[in-house]
Structure 1
Amino acid sequence: MARLLLYSFFVFLAGCALYAAYLASWLASQIFPLGPSSQALVAANWLFTASVAGTLADFCFGRISGQSRTLRQEPIEKPQISVGMTAYNDETSIGGAVRDFSQLREVAHIVVIDNNSVDGTAKAAREAGARVVQEKVQGYGACARRALQEALKEGNIICLVEGDQTFFASDLMKLLPYIENVDMVVGTRTTMEIVTADSQMTTFMQIGNLFVAKLVQLRYWGKLRLTDVGCTYRLIRPDALQRIMGNLKETGNDFSAHMILVALEHGLKVIECPIAFRKRVGQSKGVGSDVIKGLQNGLRMIWLIARP
């Protein structure tokens, strides 16, 4: 039943497509005396009926199952944040990122995961004071998973972040208060007042991220509100991470969405918080503002959300 509302939405979209086909057929019939296709209209009506029925069933099931929200209140008296920082050919940015996070008294440990860099990333990270670990499996997901594993060895709060200086260490102070109420706090880069115009968060990326985020919200209706599935800045409790660590399988750029989905599948409480986002230092090696890469990654995320 968890996916019923999401599938109903897809059926609704299919109905819209058939109505559009019927309308196009009707318009064509005004020019060419062929007559509109009634089959498309009948099929569209059935699809709309099915989508409404699915939505009502999902709503009723949620009511009958008695989903309850209990407030979790588990303050962490002395936060000791262990930061897992991903890096790939980030020689120009990694040192600044490490020093930025090192300035916070709540940060107890920083480990940088070097994902087969061919420049001086590892050397720059060590000189800035971080522990450096090499991850041979290529891909953001593999690097992030290793960062979580290594960060889990230290501290009582785990932070995952990229080392490209797009994020501010000070935003940890925004995320931190929520961790006493939930299992994972995810940043969102959709508050335009604190996102610089020259960042990788283009209009296309904003719309795509929001669309995919709302599909996640539909699938897990009533469990969270989500506006950004691709943000790589997040906090998670060690006990929560241990519950899902073995199920984090994705190795590519869709890892961020994958981690949210796995967390929700395991009953973790997830909340998002607006954070600042700026232009990265150095050249993007991931999706960045590349429209083609963005479309490919978005389609992979949609498959992750919709698959049985």
Structure 2
Amino acid sequence: MFFLFSREEGLYICMLKKFLKNCILGRMGLYSFLMLFFGIALYVLSRIYFCVLQESFPPAILTPLISLIVITSFLFVTDIIVLRNLVITKEEIRVNPIAGKSVSVGMTAYNDEECIGRAVADFVKEPVVSKVTVVDNNSSDSTGAEAAAAGAVVALEKKQGYGYACMRALEEASKSGDIIVLVEGDETFSAGDLRKLLPYLENCDMVIGTRTTRELNSPDSQMDWLMVLGNILVAKLMQIRFWGIRFTDMGCTYRVMRKDAYEKIKSKLTVGKIHFLPHMLIQALKSELKVIEVPITFRKRAGKSKGVGNKKLTAIVVGIRMILLILFS
């Protein structure tokens, strides 16, 4: 009877841990952090308001605000300290050599005839790269022909949208490579950065680039102060949601991953629009893949931007979509 009771107790504990991990962990920390921020901001603004009026702070306002700050602080600390130590198992450092692994590049393109040839050539000449596949997302110009002339295999993705192009690029690259590389064909990314991204795959499943390092950005790139600040803010929300992993950029296409890691998440990738990248990252983290972020060089976009580019309103809309993904996925 004691043995049976112990087994049942252990089963209930495992079920509870699974529930906490899948439904509570991260979400509680993120939501409580946002409410804590809101409470502190409201408290400060109220203090300033009544100070200007030279009136005392009404208890009817003070008490709820203090209660909100105390409760959300408690929930936030509970999430990042108590629950994470309770349900997250710390892993040993992984060492899985990539020597001898084939590297295949999936490159998205849409009306990039001006630059796709140079972008393809840059990766084709990289010694570790075995194949470059350009995913033409219904271009109306000669993007496909230019890519083929530069040495790439061209695949046509009929579903219009950045996310659909990325998903197709990942799938095409997985057919021929043990290691998958995802990039855009607008010359913003450098093939030489593979030499610093790939070594980290010995210790993790996916390496993503970050464009927020000022020293590695060309002065005329699209990463102005608003793009950098916006990406960092959204990335920090992701970092709170999945506490313990450092993020500074949610919009960088450049990433490398192991084929077996891709196989674990490919059926979960569903977002076909421009906010695909944080969606992919969320699915990777929810699938318990190890992810590392590494600074990369970022150059001026060749040709006309088909995404966010320097369009501030579009950037804000995409940022809101990313935040909603992080909050509710």
Task: Calculate the TM-score normalised by the size of structure 2.
Answer: 0.89
Q: What are the superposed Cα offsets for residues 185-243 of structure 1, whole Å, 9 maximum, x if unpaired?
A: 00111211111110001110001100111111101112x11111111000010000010
**Are 1:12 and 2:41 an aligned pair?**
no
Among residues 255, 276, 287, which one is paired with 1:266 in the alignment?
287
Greater mean alpha carbon deviation, residues 173-182 or residues 75-84: 75-84
Among residues 105, 123, 127, which one is paired with 1:105 in the alignment?
127
Give the residue type in structure 2 aligned to 1:22.
S
Q: What are the superposed Cα offsets for residues 136-162 of structure 1, whole Å, 9 maximum, x if unpaired?
A: 111111110111111110011000000
Within 1, Cα distance between the matches of 2:168 and 2:257? 15
Q: Percent identity?
A: 47
Secondary structure at the counterpart of residue 323 of structure 2: helix
Among residues 281, 285, 294, which one is paired with 2:302 in the alignment?
281
Within 1, Cα distance between the matches of 2:136 and 2:218? 27
Q: What are the superposed Cα offsets for residues 17-75 of structure 1, whole Å, 9 maximum, x if unpaired?
A: 32144225414533xx7x65543322221221122111221111222335313211110
Assess, with a 3 A threshold, how the Cα gap between structure 1 residues 37 and 21 changes in structure 2: closer, same or farther. Answer: farther
Among residues 79, 84, 88, which one is paired with 2:101 in the alignment?
79
Any unmatched runs of 5+ in structure 2?
A: 1-24
Q: How does 1:1-308 map to 2 (within 5 A)?
A: 1-30=25-54, 36-58=57-79, 59-65=81-87, 67-222=89-244, 224-307=245-328
Is the contact between residue 15 and residue 43 of structure 1 (CA under 8 Å) also seen in structure 2? no
Is the contact between residue 236 and residue 247 of structure 2 (CA under 8 Å) also seen in structure 1? yes
Within 2, Cα distance between the matches of 1:301 and 1:213? 9
Within 1, Cα distance between the matches of 2:60 and 2:128? 64
Within 1, Cα distance between the matches of 2:139 and 2:285? 33
Cα RMSD after superposing both structures: 1.4
Greater mean alpha carbon deviation, residues 249-258 or residues 11-20: 11-20
Is the contact between residue 18 and residue 43 of structure 1 (CA under 8 Å) also seen in structure 2? no
Greater mean alpha carbon deviation, residues 12-21 or residues 136-145: 12-21
Within 2, Cα distance between the matches of 1:66 and 1:267? 10
Is the contact between residue 33 and residue 73 of structure 2 (CA under 8 Å) also seen in structure 1? no
Q: How far off its partner does 1:248 sit?
A: 0.7
Is the contact between residue 101 and residue 169 of structure 1 (CA under 8 Å) also seen in structure 2? yes
Task: Calculate the TM-score normalised by the size of structure 1.
Answer: 0.95
Assess, with a 3 A threshold, how the Cα gap between structure 1 residues 66 and 234 changes in structure 2: closer, same or farther. Answer: closer
Q: How far off its partner does 1:14 sit?
A: 1.7
Within 2, Cα distance between the matches of 1:66 and 1:256? 25
Higher helix share: 2
Q: How many residues align?
A: 304
Is the contact between residue 91 and residue 121 of structure 1 (CA under 8 Å) also seen in structure 2? yes
Any unmatched runs of 5+ in structure 1?
A: none
Give the residue type in structure 2 aligned to 1:110.
V
Is the contact between residue 95 and residue 125 of structure 1 (CA under 8 Å) also seen in structure 2? yes
Within 2, Cα distance between the matches of 1:261 and 1:118? 33
Assess, with a 3 A threshold, how the Cα gap between structure 1 residues 66 and 271 changes in structure 2: closer, same or farther. Answer: closer
Within 2, Cα distance between the matches of 1:85 and 1:244? 19
